[in-house]
Amino acid sequence: MPLTSTDDIVGPAYAGASGVGAFNVVQIEHAEAIVAGAEQAALPVILQISENTARYHGSLAPIGLASLALARAASVPVAVHLDHAESAELVHEAVELGFTSVMFDASKLAYDANVAATRDITEHCHRADVWVEAELGEVGGKDGAHAPDVRTDPDEARAFAAATAVNALAVAVGSSHAMLTRDAVLDFALISRLRNSLEVPLVLHGSSGVGDAELAAAVTAGMTKVNISTHLNKLFTRTVRDRLRTAPGVADPRKYLGPARDAVAAEVARLLGVLAAR
């Protein structure tokens, strides 16, 4: 199945009140695991590459082109998304490479500056038929952003979405980035109010800190795109650590990265089932 438009994945889920998993890629094993998990679940998925990951690899192209190749070879719909980009130049590069969507993060700016910067990005991306996600306010774990006590105002969110013409909006409802425990307390009533106030899909960031039952409840309340990163990284690292502890003499990276990749694939398949269940 060819690389799939993000809108062709998120749009039907939004209309059908189900959820879509968006998982972050750090290295090629992550991308391979995420695609394999989606194929196991027979469900669509979104591969996400953050600005931080592009910086880690020296540029966006190496990991971006690898992810695009895996998406094109997949047997299920796979989109490739630029996550938390603060650089307009990086957004432009993602569009040129063939990414199907971008998340432009100007949430650290004052409201009016956020609107202006995001609108410029949206206009550029829409000319190339690239879907755009933005964030209003900050989601915790990133220099004090999206803190657990921060909440998105529905009226402001509706005005922001209209002013910027974005395709989806990440909102603050109680989750926080980079959580190592799955005990975030979400505001389900607010999620429902936001769903009813906006005409674009809602995105839940910081979902690694949200348990299975709460993820399902968030989708029921109105979330569509659900971003997960740290939870998979914990599993990947734990599997590598366990394999090296049981075989301390191993030298071939495939002997410990392969099992970690398999573990992440199984967890991706499981989580996609949680999000898709209605």
| CATH 3.20.20.70 matches 6-276 | yes
Contacts of 37 (CB under 8 A, 6+ apart): 45, 264, 265, 266, 267, 268, 269, 272
Looking at residue 172, its pLDDT comes to 86
pLDDT above 80: residue 263 = yes
Give me the residue spans of the domains in the chain.
6-276
User: Which residues are marked as active site?
Assistant: 83
Instruction: Name the token pair of 21.
Output: 């998993």
The 3-state DSSP class for residue 181 equals coil
In percent, the amount of the chain with pLDDT more than 90 equals 79
On whether the CB atoms of residues 158 and 202 are closer than 8 A, the answer is no
**Non-local CB neighbours of 278 within 8 Å, separated by 6+ positions:** 16, 17, 18, 219, 220
Global pTM? 0.93
117 residue type, one letter: A
pLDDT of 209: 73
How large is the greatest C-alpha to C-alpha distance in the chain, in angstroms? 59
